[in-house]
């Protein structure tokens, strides 16, 4: 396998074509071609390489293209001199800002049909992953057929089918309107997500126990009070924190309150995406395959109070979310 590699030295970047090969049972890497210090000429230099590399370059086309697009977007974002976020750090801030730049300046300029197709791919991936995190057994392929062709998967419950369909519909609704966060909006998002899944809607009045958690959810009689505090915290901090950090912390605080009888995770992840979209940042996918790491990162922040934003406690969750954000953005939107 071949891929592009960047070496930064003395404030400049140098680009190489690197190969990863297995030798004597061990994976080894070596630079096979220097591609210069001008990223705009990398494609041209790849075409000028000896023919023996052509097959490997073609097989790695998507990886190479992703590198080029991400690198270009990062360089453009760097020129905008974004403020380094204290939670994200300089390098991760630039990685996230590269996604934002590409979303605003490349994705947004595609023709409408292509944009719709890419966005639909995101919605399928998001709907599959966010529902699977909560135990839905519909596969990615089945979710794709359900949402694109209205083909109901066999041997799945109607609740699971509604779960995926509702997620798609609610995301589209929020993506188009980008409404402000209010009590009414939050409860409406929850009601729409759980239509045909669970009839218990509205803020709960009963106490609940959240299994495998490191916190006690807000007692039923105080849910409205704590949600009011969360919305007030969001209003005070949303313009001060990086949008990805704001969305991440809001999501965690929302889950600690656990304002509904069911559907809190799905609702919290949907609201995190609404926060990102309202800041014109691309949306986020937390993948099913990283569920355990996701829950661990959430758990490490559980000692933080509802009105606090302890940077050390939130560091693992912010780092995890940023990794998922950057990787899944380039996997879906490119």
What is the model's pLDDT at position 24? 80
Contacts of 113 (CB under 8 A, 6+ apart): none
Residues in CB range of 52: below 8 A, 6 or more apart: none
Q: What is the pLDDT of residue 162?
A: 98
The per-residue pLDDT for 211 is 77
Burial category of 96 from C-beta neighbours within 10 Å (exposed 0-12, middle 13-18, buried 19 and up): buried
Query: Does the pLDDT value for residue 309 go beyond 90?
Result: no
Q: What is the pLDDT of residues 30-49, one digit of tens each?
A: 999 999 999 889 999 999 99
- Read off the pLDDT band of 23 (50, 70, 90): confident
- Whether 212 has a pLDDT exceeding 80, the answer reads no
Question: Is this structure's pTM higher than 0.85?
Answer: yes
Q: What is the pLDDT of residues 52-97, one digit of tens each?
A: 889 999 999 999 999 999 999 999 999 999 999 999 999 999 999 9
Report the C-alpha gap between 307 and 162 in whole angstroms.
35
Domain edges within the chain: 1-59, 110-333
Count the Cβ atoms, other than its own, within 10 Å of residue 197: 21
pLDDT at 276 over 90: yes
Q: Is the pLDDT of residue 171 over 80?
A: yes
Half-sphere exposure of 248 (CA within 13 A, CB side): 29
What's the CATH number of domain 110-333, 1.10.3720.10, 3.40.50.2000, 3.30.1330.60, 1.10.3290.10? 1.10.3290.10
Task: Give the chain's mean pLDDT.
Answer: 95
The lowest-confidence range among 20-24, 170-174, 265-269 is 20-24
Are 314 and 248 contacting, i.e. CB atoms less than 8 angstroms apart? Answer: yes
Kindly tell me the burial class for residue 186, based on how many C-beta atoms sit within 10 Å of its own C-beta (0-12, 13-18, 19 or more).
buried
């Amino acid at each position: 396998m071949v891929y592009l590699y960047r070496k930064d030295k003395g404030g400049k970047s140098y680009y190489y074509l690197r190969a990863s090969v297995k030798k004597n049972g061990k994976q080894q890497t070596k630079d096979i071609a220097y591609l210069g210090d001008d990223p705009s000429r990398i494609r041209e230099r790849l075409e000028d390489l000896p023919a023996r590399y052509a097959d490997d370059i073609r097989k790695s086309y998507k990886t190479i293209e992703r590198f080029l697009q991400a690198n270009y977007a990062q360089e453009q974002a760097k020129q905008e001199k974004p403020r380094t976020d204290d939670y994200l750090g300089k390098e991760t801030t630039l990685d996230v800002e590269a996604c934002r730049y590409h979303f605003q300046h490349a994705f947004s300029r595609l023709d409408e049909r292509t944009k719709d197709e890419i966005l639909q791919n995101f919605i399928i991936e998001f709907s599959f992953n966010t529902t699977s995190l909560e135990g839905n057994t519909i596969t990615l392929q089945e979710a794709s057929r359900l949402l694109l062709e209205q083909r109901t998967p066999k041997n799945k419950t109607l609740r699971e089918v509604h779960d995926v369909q509702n997620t798609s519909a609610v995301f589209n609704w929020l993506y188009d309107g980008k409404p402000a966060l209010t009590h009414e909006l939050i409860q409406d998002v929850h009601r729409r997500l759980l239509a045909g899944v669970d009839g218990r809607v509205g803020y709960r009045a009963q106490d609940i126990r959240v299994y495998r958690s490191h916190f006690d959810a807000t007692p039923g009689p105080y849910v409205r009070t704590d949600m009011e505090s969360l919305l007030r915290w969001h209003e005070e901090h949303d313009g001060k924190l990086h949008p990805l950090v704001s969305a991440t912390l809001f999501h965690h605080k929302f889950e600690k309150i656990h304002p509904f009888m069911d559907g809190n995770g799905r609702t919290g992840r949907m609201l995190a995406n609404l926060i990102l979209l309202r800041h014109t940042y691309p949306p986020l996918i937390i993948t099913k395959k990283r569920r355990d790491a996701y829950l661990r990162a959430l758990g490490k922040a559980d000692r933080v109070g509802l009105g606090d934003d302890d940077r050390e406690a939130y560091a693992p969750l912010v780092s995890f979310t940023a990794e998922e954000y950057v990787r899944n953005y380039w996997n879906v939107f490119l």
